[in-house]
Every structure is written in C-alpha cells, then in structure tokens.
Structure 1
C-alpha cells in the first residue's frame, strides 16, 4: 500500500525554534472527563479541549452509545448530552477497536446506566505492557461479571449492580485508578482504593466527579475513599493544561538552541520537570499566562534521572528530554521504571549520530519492577554529539515527537514518516512548528 504523503513531514533541521505557541487541555485528562459525562443523564460542558485525534475517537465511541456530542474545536469546547444512552452495536464498536485504550473506561458508567457493557480489543502505543488485568479485577471486586470469551472483546454485566469494595493496586496504575473512580462513584456503599495513582490529571477527574455530585476523599498515603451516591448530574469544567506537551516544547527549545513561550503552561504540575530542566542548563520564566523556556547559550549539563509515578519525573517527559541530553557535555543516565520498552525510540537517534547505550541493569536507586527481567530500561547518553538528518519512522506518540525534535535539531534534511501518530496527542503541531519558524513541508 502506498504511503499517504500527508503522513510524511520533510524537515530541514539546524534552525532554532523561536516564538509563542498555546497549549490546551491535557490529553490524559480530557478523554476521561468525556467518559465521566456518561455517568449522568444530562448535559456536560468541557472547556480548554485540544484538537487531537483522541477527542474524536472518544466522541465517536460516545455517539455509538446514543450520546449527543458537539465538538467546537476552534474554541476548545465539547458539549455532551448523555440523556439517552444505549448499547452500541458490537460491529460498530469493533470498528474503533485498536484506535485507543479509552473503551475499557466505559465499563463502569455503562454498567451503571445500562446494566452491561461491551469492550472491544484495545489499542495504544507499543511502549511496554499495559495489561487491563487491574481494570478487570477492580470491576470484579465491585460486583461485575466479566466474560472474556467473546472473540471480539469483553462483555461485562452486573446482575446485582455494583457495590463498594476494598481494592489495593500493587502498582499505582493511572488507568486502574480512573477505572475505580468511574465505577465506584455510583456503586452502593463505600469503596477504599489504596495504592492509587495521584497524577494531576486524576485529581482533575476527581474535581469533575465532585462537581457531578460524587463524594471522594484523598489521603496522603495514596488512598481514595469513595462514598457511592444514588445519582449524578452534568458538569461544566475547564481542563488543566497538558504538562506533557508543554515539557515537549521545552525540550525542543533546549535541543534546537531556541526560545519558546508556551502559553497556558502552569508551574504546579511541572515542578519536577522544571527542576531537571534547570539542572540541564535550560532557563525558564513563569508568568501568569504561561512559561517561557530557552537555551541560554553555553554547554548543557548532563544529569541522572529516574522516571516514576507522580510526583516523580514523568515517563512521558523523558523521551523529548533525551534528545536534548544528546547535546549535553558529559554522561547522562536515564532509568525508566514505568514502561519497560520505552527506549525503543533511541535507535534512530543513534543512527543520526547520538551516542546512547541501553542496559538491562537498573542504573538508579529506585525500586524497579523490571530488575532482572531482561528489559533494556536504562540509558546512558554521552554528549555532545552532532545529529545529522535522516529518514525516520515514528514508533509511538511521545517517541514520534522526540524524533521530530531530533530532526529539527539535526543538520540537513530528514523525512519523518508516520506523523499521524503525533496527532493523537499534539494538537495542530504543524501550525505550532510554523509559528516557531521551523523549516518543513
């Protein structure tokens, strides 16, 4: 099959990115807030929504279930009316299988509204194991019956309704935490969720659910306590800014010796990233309207970082930053503790001239699930090394944007293939590149 020419970006690198861009709501929150609207037979309004493919996938899934969805992309407003929810046709749901991992989160809301749910095969980026076992075990503990025998997906029912339960997550999984919150808010009785993830996007989801009428308390030991209520109502909410996209552009400024003002970026969710950005030698200025990131000249400094769940250094931050670290003067070490295969994106960087070595050992102090499990989950980056443009195939969302940064920082031309993957999480990135003076077509 011939490649779609719109899926290839020709980049002439070696030019600093300078200018102002605006970042909207968080990809990792917006889609979950849209699913939450299913819980209430009424209208919900979500603001500061980015124009990304995930929003359209969730919109289509909601429409298949009888929900009215209006997406005003220009103004970043999504209006959802879930008054008339119905079971979707299995064949229709299957057409979206593999597009996203969001469908599993429909389980709790659909079981509450309809008594059953069908979940298709799931997609997402190939960055390591993201099993849905935690999700299914959570649903079972809340009283759901999970039938995995269906050849096209999973059928979930709750003959006696969902009820509160004690749930402990062996790892603070973001998805399983969201699953529990969405399923427990209307379950009969109280649910205690320990070992939960507490990312800012999850706390924003808690805010949405509280606006809808939920009763959720949060303890400092990663424990959520949810008191089930009889009914919920629609919400109006403005999404927090996407801290991953903001950090990606910050890394682009560093890698290209540029100066980028990211309108909408906020400090509280980015404190850990900002500390590392400063240690590397980058400069930033926080204002009421956003954060300015720039390369001040001189040598960048090597760092040792370990990814971790919030409030640690976010796994989605490390890939763009690794590109900048190829230009630091010395040896940097990155220990990835969240996804075991996240360093697959480094191979094209090496082919462009970077010196990056991968190791199976844990090169860090954090307890790591991947110790002695044969995954290359630690990277040593030696710099500075000049990068030279080449043909690149985008492997996944964050790795793809990192390759784009490398192409922009490299001398000479690069053809970046498969850039439609980047559309999943970076709204209008071509328009933003143009605003920053990038040379591409």
Structure 2
C-alpha cells in the first residue's frame, strides 16, 4: 500500500493525526499515546518556530491482502510531491511512521523518547510499531479526538491504579521481609553474644593456664596485671612465673618473647618452663639465663626473648636479681623513695646470652618491688620518660591494696598509647610476717 504523507503546521494537528492513524492500525492505547508523545517531542521545536513537518504513515500489511488504497491513513490533504523512499507495506505487520523535518537547522535529538525511534539520514525519524494481527474492524463513524483522549486517560488511570496496587503489595511484602530479617538479626545477635561469652570463657581458661595465681607466703603480698596489645588476642609473648623453692625463697620470672600471638606465647612458655626446671634443679641464679639459652637453642633456633629473674626471701627481705636484656626493676621504699635496679645482661637468643652479674638489695616492711615488660614503659616510644612516669605512678599507688596496684599503675601509664604492646605489671610488697 502507498504511504500517506501529510504536511502539518501545529502540535495539535500532529497529535490528532497520529492518534487516528494508531487507532486505525489497532495499536494498544499505551503504544498510541507513547507514539504521539514521542513524535511531539521530536517535532515540537520546529512547529513552535512556525516551520512545517511532514508525516508519512504506512499501515501494517494484513494476511488478507493490502488494505484499500482509497482509505486515507491520516486526516488532511496529501502532498502533491513524490513520496519519500519507504516500503509499500511492512511484511511483519507493523505500522510505519516517518517524521521528516525538512527545514530543521540540525538533526533532532532522539534520546529518551517514550517510544524509541530509528534515526534516518538527514532530519527524519521513523517508528516501526507492531500492530495486532487481527485488529477490531473500524466503525463507520470513527471516534473523535475527545473520545481517543478519554480512552487514553482511562488507560492511564487504570495503569496508575495497577501500579498503586503493586506498590501496596510490594510494601506489604517488604514489611514482612523486614520483619523476618529483623527476627533473623536478633537471632544472630543472640548467637553472637553466646559465641562471645564462650570465647571469653575460653580466653579466661587459657589465661589461667598460662598465668599462675600469686604465691601465698607469709611476709609477702603479690599481684599481677596483664594487658594484651590487641583486645581480641588471647595472649602474647609477655609471660611470668612465680613459685617457692625448697629453701623457702620465692622465685619470679618475667619474660618478653619477640613477636605477638600464639607463636610468641609458645616461645615465652618454653623460657619459663626451662627456667623453672633449672631453678628447681638448684642451678645458681647467675647461670640460669645462659643455661636457658643453651637448652632452648637446640630446638627453637628463632627464639629471642628478654628475661628477668628475681629471688626474694620473705623472712629477711633479701632480694637478688639477674637480667637478660630486660627493663630494670623498680623499687619503691615505704617512705616514697624510688630507684631502678639495673643489671646488665643479654637475653635468650642474643649473642653471648646471660646476666653479667647479680644485683642484691633488701626490701623492708612496706617496700614495693615492680617487675614489668616494656609494654608498660614504652607506650610512647621513650623508655626513659616511661621509667620516670612509672616511678611516679608506683609512688602514688604504693599504699593501695596489693590487688589494685598493678592495674592502677597500668592505667596511669596507658593514658596515651602511641605504641601498643603486650604488658605485664607485677608487684611484690613486703609486710610484717
């Protein structure tokens, strides 16, 4: 069938012509108003500027043969000129609508149209819209523009009602989903809390196994505070050990193994066990650091640890210290005088390990001995400043109950932490027996 070409000078005429063409082709209402709206957007600027546009339409071909040619495709006169190149019909049963802007200064934009269009050479656009294979027969009195608009409005209202129902249904489904997710979240929170509690119990049991309780002997009060570098880590390489020797003296070991986590814990345990064994076998205190290195070097080649050993007679208050690269002990007298007890030596895994000498002193009633690892004094990367702050904190808290002193000292020392590390703070106070 021949294409019908109409010259249009207004948007109202363009919309009316397209609606009638689409109605005759049997297009659904939604496609009809999408087509009219898209063509209006393409031609709107031209018609507003007073320049005409050409509308060419080809009705869809039907299986029963071509539609009568004497039925006009659009209202209005056809142009006298030749038709633009286009097929006589669409074999796939589609309505073909071509919009040509002969006087447009530039090609029209086809982006974001309600019904996408194909771009043609020049300033033309074309829509190929699928049409029903068997549309309803046209009435003798085709509907007017008002009826077509009312039909489109009714379809739009129905579509809006359907969307509103879908929206309400989705809101209901979302509410049910949210309720289920919330219930699941509560269950997960409860399970997570149970796991945290179980994890905490395991950590406490592990710490109890690694950190023996204070020795109870007449004449001495003892307490300890441990703080890991990372709160979630069960332990680290900072350990201690204390026990009573057969002669009644108390032996104390403080170890700081290189690294963090379970590997350093294993290394520190090896050191404390070796020291305990050697001490109970009666080896002289001045030889134990070197002997420990000798024992452990055969099966732990990467072990490096600092260690401090203390012997304290609870009856006389006599104190003996040996050291292997460990921070010095702090002695605070009952009156408040404080001094660092420094002993030179090299730790386990260091070149020429061992304590160079023994340091001897005596604790009087009320005197406080503080043994610790470097995480207590080096939290700000300045050991000397840390030692001064430690002396100040120990003097401040020396008269508190012994169970409170290590943690109180650690709290004072860790008000600012620039270099977090595992920390052991161990205190021994001599009292009247």
- TM bin, normalised by shorter chain, reads under 0.3
Higher relative contact order (CA 8 A, sep 6+): 1
| TM-score, with length taken from structure 1 | 0.24
